[in-house]
Chains A and B, each alone.
Chain A
Amino acid sequence: NAGVMQNPRHLVRRRGQEARLRCSPMKGHSHVYWYRQLPEEGLKFMVYLQKENIIDESGMPKERFSAEFPKEGPSILRIQQVVRGDSAAYFCASSPLDSFNSPLHFGNGTRLTVT
Chain B
Amino acid sequence: DAKTTQPPSMDCAEGRAANLPCNHSTISGNEYVYWYRQIHSQGPQYIIHGLKNNETNEMASLIITEDRKSSTLILPHATLRDTAVYYCIVRVNTNAGKSTFGDGTTLTVKP
Contact = CB atoms under 8 A, between A and B. Distances in A.
Interface of A: 4, 6, 31, 33, 35, 42-45, 48, 55-56, 58-59, 91, 93, 95, 98-109
A35 B43 CA distance: 10
B93 interface: yes
B103 interface: yes
A50 B98 CA distance: 14
Given A106-B44, A108-B42, A48 B104 contact: no
Contact of B32 (A31, A55, A100): A100
Contact of A100 (B46, B92, B101, B104): B92
Contacts of A108: 42-43
B96 A55 contact: no
B43 A107 contact: yes
Contacts of B44: 43, 91, 93, 104, 106
B54 interface: no
Given A98-B95, A103-B49, 10 more contacts: A31-B97, A43-B101, A44-B101, A45-B100, A58-B98, A100-B31, A104-B96, A106-B45, A108-B42, A109-B42
